[in-house]
Amino acid sequence: MESSIHTLNNLFAQLGLPSDEASINTFIKTHSHLATCVLLSEASFWTPTQAAFLREEILNDADWAEVIDQLNTSLHAV
């Protein structure tokens, strides 16, 4: 079984978002400070497809889970 290590750049590309460093930083700055009660996949800025991907990957503890958790932490930063 091959283990995949994904980066934020890979995750943003998978979500159909610009995946260069500047775009990722802008996205995080724009959407950070999510309320702690809001799950990442339930944030209002995702499309239904993006939200479903994030939710399923976390629920299945898939190889994307670690980088999704990293994004989650960044967007819930105080």
How many Å apart are CA 38 and CA 19, to the nearest integer? 24
How many Å apart are CA 60 and CA 25, to the nearest integer? 27
| CA angle centred on 71, ends 32 and 52, rounded to 5° | 100
What CATH number does domain 35-78 carry, 3.30.930.10, 3.40.630.30, 1.20.1290.10, 1.10.10.1130? Answer: 1.10.10.1130
Instruction: Indicate the domain borders of the chain.
Output: 35-78
Q: What is the pLDDT of residue 4?
A: 66
Average per-residue pLDDT in the chain? Answer: 93
- pLDDT per position as a tens digit, 7-41: 999 999 999 999 999 999 999 999 998 999 999 99
Can you spell out the DSSP letters for 23-76?
A: HHHHHHHHH----TTS-GGG-TTS-HHHHHHHHHHHHTT-TTHHHHHHHHHHHT
Q: What is the pLDDT of residue 1?
A: 39
Q: What is the pLDDT of residue 78?
A: 61
